[in-house]
Amino acid sequence: MDVSFTRCEDYDRSHVKASLARAVELLGGWGRFVTPGRRVVIKPNLLLPGSDRRPISTHVQVIRAVFEAVRDAGGDPVVFDVPGVGSLEGTARRLGFDDLPLMENRRTLRWRAALGPFGEIERVDLDGAAVVNVAKLKTHAMMGLTLATKHLFGLVSGAQRFEWHMKAGTNYDHFAGLLVEIERHVKPVLNILDAVVAMEGNGPAGGSPRPLGFLLASPDALSLDALVCRILGMEPLDLAVLGAAKRLAVPFDENPNVLGDEVTAHRVERFKFASDLRADPRRHFGVPGWRWLHELLRQWTINRPVLSRQACTGCKRCEAVCAARAVEMVDDKPTFDLAACIRCFCCQEMCPEGAITVRQGLLSRLAWRTRGARSPSS
């Protein structure tokens, strides 16, 4: 599977347009992906309004460049996402693209999953439109990285997002399989990844900017994700989403064919990943039957949310989004019931101040140091 890789040193409008045009041309041009007259939903990452200092969302210049390219190819583009906070219209206004047409249809549809024990999944009804997936390279406390595949979870209806977090609990492999199922069902015609400035550390909302200076594009989200893992120095199958795809026999290329600039010269050194995905001691030590030892090891390895009281403004958003009801406000500050917490880290993800971080257990921190990687706790 082909993945294009093009340098883009900054968000200057002309630089973004040129890099995007080259990335898509290497794959066969926009005519391969856009049918004249067909509605095209451009799906950026609009988790929270961000900035160059907090690269939370797909950059506005990338959104604009994709929109203009689809329009120029004869498509009928609209922008759509379900922001983590506020309305799509308000987020578009704050990020500076409220002049672009937004998709207003908020109907949902249900489909029966073909893979795994997932049952029915409810997502936004796109009315048969093609989808151009415009993701942001960020770390993610629960799933390790937010790349092209994970990004499509944003099309699941808001109520079901919380439901699926509860169903998955701390079984990240199960949740990763759900993400693979969603990608198979949505089938974006093209996936684009904004990695001009990525987020490392306490992602997907509270991390630090990491200039990387490139865009990637591919018709296959999983293969694109695999290439990003290799660029960051990570084995693709160590990412839960790609491990789930392999387990479910969903085809993708662990070593995709790279078109464009030389990837080897742009490998990223010492990228600061989010907390270790392998926080479940059953995966570390293989002792599912030893209940007492399992619980002891769980306490030593499992990640947990930690509050910066100084940064917290008491907005109560973390309490509102907690599907497990493990957050309680005490003296206008959240407290965490770690016994009830399912480690989805939605509280951390949705905190607008970056006041919640994820702290690794002792053994997880030791595992990171053994592998020579940088964790947020280091």
Considering the chain, what is the average pLDDT of its residues?
A: 85
Q: What is the pLDDT of residues 180-230, one digit of tens each?
A: 999 998 999 999 999 999 999 988 888 999 999 999 999 999 999 999 999
Q: What is the pLDDT of residue 287?
A: 39
Q: What is the pLDDT of residue 131?
A: 97
Architecture of the domain made up of 281-371: 2-Layer Sandwich (3.30)
Q: Write down the domain spans for the chain.
A: 2-266, 281-371
What does the alpha-carbon distance between residue 46 and residue 62 come to, in Å, rounded to a whole number?
A: 12
Structure tokens at 315: 């907005």
- Residue 357 burial by CB count (10 A; 0-12/13-18/19+): exposed, middle or buried? buried
pLDDT level of residue 142 (50, 70, 90 thresholds):
confident
The torsion angle over the Cα atoms of residues 153, 142, 350 and 105, rounded to 10 degrees, is 0
204 upstream amide cis, omega within 30 of 0: yes
Q: What is the pLDDT of residue 291?
A: 45
Q: What is the pLDDT of residue 105?
A: 58
Q: Which residue has the tokens 């790279």?
A: 258
Architecture of the domain made up of 2-266: 3-Layer(aba) Sandwich (3.40)
Closest C-alpha to 206, from 140, 259, 153, 156: 140
2-266 and 281-371, same CATH topology:
no
Q: What is the pLDDT of residue 278?
A: 39
Q: What is the pLDDT of residue 293?
A: 52
As a whole number, mean pLDDT of residues 245-255 equals 95
What does the alpha-carbon distance between residue 144 and residue 58 come to, in Å, rounded to a whole number?
A: 18
Q: What is the pLDDT of residue 160?
A: 67
| pLDDT for residue 360 is more than 60 | yes
Amino acid at 286: G
